[in-house]
Amino acid sequence: MNAPPTTTARGPRRLGWPKRVFSQVLLIQLTIITGVTVLVTGLFLAPLSAQLDDQAMRRALAIAQSTAAQSQVAASLLTTGPTADGPVQTTAERIRKATGAEYVVVMDRRGVRWSHTDSRQIGRVVSTDPSEALAGRDVMEIDSGTLGRSARGKVPLHDASDRIVGAVSVGIAYDSVRARLLAAIPGLLAYAGGALAVGALAAYLISRRLQRQTHDLAFSDISALLTEREAMLHSIREGVVALDRAGRIRLLNDEAQRLLGLGPDAAGRPLDEALGEGRTADVLAGRVVGDDLLTVRGSRVLLANRMPTDDGGAVATLRDRTELEHLGRELDSTRGLIDALRAQDHEHANRLHTLLGLLELEMHDDAMEYITEVVGVHRATAEQVTERVNDPLLASLLVGKATVSAERGVSLRMAPGTLLPDRLVDPRGLVTVLGNLVDNALDAAAGSKDALIEVGLRAQGRTVILRVRDSGPGVPADQRESIFTEGWSTKTLPAHGKRGLGLALVRRLAERQGGSATVTTAAEGGALFTVVLPEALHETEAPDAGGTGSRLATTGEAP
């Protein structure tokens, strides 16, 4: 037997909060506009009622003052009695009808009415206290009397000799005040409705624009996209810098902070203020244009690309090419060394053939003299370097550079007075500086008459002074600063990429240690590069018994 089908009761569908940005913003704006309109209308109506009351009381007071100013009223009060057809009643009624007041009451000093809208009230005492008016003071108030609630004005009544003989009380019906208030409400509501309609239209247009700019995404989708963007930007190993149209840093991911040496507080600051003057700021700001632009920041070689955005800003990407640049330079040096070794191989073969011929001719003494001469040249170069440069890395570099230079027809020698102890704080940094300067000097001196490179290294306290002189054409005075700028070069491109970084790295490394790098013209001609590196040597060790070792290590002078 089949079970009867079950039915699931479904309650009424609940109206939830809309997910689309357009709907949410429109609903919020309409709610705000409606609330503001209602609030403003209420705030306007509250003082309007008080203002109408004040105007009615002032009008009643003005009528009372004008009535009391008529001399025949006081004179009639003193000479006649309180009758329905007396002169006081006649004058009061005339004034009431002319001004539209609810009543005009004239009373004597006892408070007895001499005039009233209802003639039966004439001769009776007034229902409200007239003491203030009889005491000579003007009174404005909202009060209730025999004719109901009214706005009142009371003034004293003076005779010809300025004595107070009574008072005048004028009332404006409160219903007329309320009628004016109610009459003003439709117009006010019309203005409020117009303002609400304009606000609703503006809210709709703003919401539509926001819908187009957000591609009709929900706030949750936008939040998820921002979260994913932050995760992506800070996880990639490429620096990203976003700038606004005013040149301020809008975004800086972790890699860009590391490459540029900036902190998270750099966001929001102008680019030139955060980076300072230099090629890096010019490249990121778009003052230097191109693809894959090389720049040096500190000791790092960076490859930068810049893409403008629709809002007038830009996004720049940075890649660290420091290691690649070093590898490229090492490749250039290796190729030069290979060429030198290839040439030496041919020369060595020629020397072996010469030696074999001397031995076959049994010219043993000449063969010994020839071997001594050949070996002595290379040994003398190595000994000259190692005796004056005690650091093994620098010494090895200079011996290798001397071999490469010899194969290119350039003589590399040590300058007189060269002496550098083995106490370098950063030997690799000095190897980079010296290697770049020697390579630059070799390119300049190659092909010149009596081609020469002279290297000088000496210590003054903890400061190292490095000088490299070449026999090339020198550097014109107007280019002596430009040659230390990234990308500036007079040479053709090497196989691995771009030139114009060697001397820039030299100056940056020197300035990072508080030193300097300059170029002048040597007395013998050619360029003379001078690099000063303060605090480049470790403190001296404890002096020996005679104190000689300490003096040599500190001054760098020969004994």
pLDDT digits (tens, 9 = 90+) for 345-356: 666 677 677 877
Is the domain of 148 the same as that of 296?
no
Confidence of residue 335 (pLDDT cuts 50, 70, 90): low
Render pLDDT for 268-315 as a digit per residue (tens, 0 to 9).
888 888 888 877 888 888 888 888 787 777 767 788 888 988 888 899
CATH number of the CATH domain containing 342: 3.30.565.10
Q: Please check whether residue 203 lies inside any domain of the structure.
A: no
Strands (E) located in 174-311: 239-243, 249-252, 293-297, 300-308
Q: Using the 3D structure, point to which of 180, 200, 220 is the last residue of a domain.
A: 180
Structure tokens at 110: 């006892």
The answer to whether 132 touches 154, Cβ cutoff 8 Å, is yes
Structure confidence at residue 323 (pLDDT) = 61
Clarify whether residues 302 and 421 are in a common domain.
no
Domain-embedded: residue 209 = no
Q: Are strands 164-173 and 249-252 parallel, antiparallel or unpaired?
A: unpaired
Q: Which residue has the higher pLDDT, 33 or 257?
A: 257
Residues 399 and 537 occupy one common structural domain: yes
Indicate if 360 and 509 belong to the same structural domain. yes
Rg (CA), the chain: 52
Domain shared by 165 and 139, yes or no:
yes
Tokens representing residue 140 in the block = 């404005």
* Two structure tokens written together for 255: 């890699």
User: Mean pLDDT highest for which of 100-114, 195-209, 493-507?
Assistant: 100-114
Virtual torsion, Cα 56, 57, 61, 63, nearest 10 deg: 20
Give phi and psi for 83, each to the nearest 5.
Answer: -120, 160
Band of residue 13 on the pLDDT scale cut at 50, 70, 90: very low
- pLDDT over threshold 50, residue 550: no
- Give the mean model confidence (pLDDT) for residues 63-73: 88
| Residues 392, 247 share a domain | no
- Please check whether residue 3 lies inside any domain of the structure: no
Q: Which residue has the higher pLDDT, 432 or 167?
A: 167
Residue 115 in contact with residue 106, Cβ under 8 Å? yes
Q: Tell me the range of 333-337, 411-415, 509-513 where mean pLDDT is highest.
A: 411-415
| 512 occurs within a structural domain | yes
In a 3-state reduction of DSSP, which class is residue 452?
strand
Residue 223 lies in a domain: no
Provide the residue range defining the domain that includes 73.
Answer: 23-180
- Is the pLDDT reported for residue 373 higher than 80? no
The per-residue pLDDT for 336 is 54
Where is average pLDDT lowest: 36-40, 162-166, 195-199, 484-488? 484-488
> By the 8 A CB rule, do 164 and 156 touch?
yes
Count CA atoms within 13 Å of residue 180 on its CB side: 14
User: How many structural domains comprise the chain?
Assistant: 3
Give yes or no: residues 349 and 303 share one domain. no
- Burial of 472 from C-beta contacts in 10 A (0-12 / 13-18 / 19+): buried
Query: Is 232 part of any domain?
Result: no
- Contacts for 318 with CB less than 8 Å, ≥ 6 apart: 238, 239, 240, 241, 255, 256, 259, 260, 302, 303, 304
Of 422, 353, 356, nearest in space to 392 by CA = 422
User: 480 or 324: whose pLDDT is higher?
Assistant: 480
**Final residue of a domain: which of 115, 150, 180?**
180
User: At 135, which amino acid appears?
Assistant: A
SS3 state at 361: coil
Comparing 187-191, 303-307, 429-433, which segment has the lowest mean pLDDT? 187-191
Assess whether 472 and 376 both reside in one domain. Answer: yes
Q: 246 and 168: one domain?
A: no
Report the alpha-carbon angle 449-452-453, nearest 5: 150
Q: Between 213 and 375, name the one with better pLDDT.
A: 213
pLDDT given at position 468: 93
- Residue 383, pLDDT score: 73
Residue 366: band (very low, low, confident or very high) from pLDDT cuts 50, 70, 90: confident
Place of tokens 């609630």: 149
Answer yes or no: are the C-beta atoms of 231 and 240 closer than 8 Å.
Answer: no
pLDDT confidence of 376, banded at 50, 70, 90?
low
Stretch 374-399: mean pLDDT: 74
Same domain, 171 and 278: no
**Between residues 439 and 41, the one the model is more confident about:** 439
Same domain, 304 and 336: no
Between 446 and 382, the higher pLDDT residue: 446
Last residue of a domain, one of 269, 293, 320: 320
- Per-residue confidence band for 462, with pLDDT thresholds at 50, 70 and 90: confident
Dist. CA 159–CA 182, nearest whole Å: 42
Bridge partner list, 463: 460
Q: What is the pLDDT of residue 529?
A: 93
Residue 214 has pLDDT above 60, yes or no: yes
Largest alpha-carbon pair distance within the chain?
176
Q: pLDDT at residue 551 above 60?
A: no
Query: How confident is the prediction for the chain on average, in pLDDT?
Result: 77
pLDDT of 495 strictly over 70: no
Phi, psi of 315 (to 5 degrees): -125, 125
- Given a contact cutoff of 8 angstroms between Cβ atoms, the answer to whether 538 and 528 are in contact is no
Does the pLDDT of residue 360 top 50, yes or no? Answer: yes
Dist CA 526 CA 288 (whole Å): 32
Residue 545 class from Cβ within 10 Å (0-12 exposed, 13-18 middle, 19+ buried)? exposed
Residue 547 confidence class, pLDDT cut points 50, 70, 90: very low
Rounded-to-integer distance, Cα 548 and Cα 544, Å: 7
Give the three-class secondary structure for 66. helix
Q: Is 87 part of any domain?
A: yes
Q: Which comes out higher in pLDDT, residue 73 or 494?
A: 73
Nearest Cα residue to 168 out of 112, 110, 119, 104? 104
Is residue 12, in this structure, part of any structural domain at all? no
54 and 91 in a common domain: yes
User: Position 498: which residue type?
Assistant: K
**Are the C-beta atoms of 274 and 266 separated by less than 8 Å?**
yes
Q: The CATH number of the domain where 268 resides is what?
A: 3.30.450.20
Q: What percent of the chain has pLDDT over 90?
A: 6
Helix 219-235 vs helix 21-68: crossing angle, to nearest 10: 120
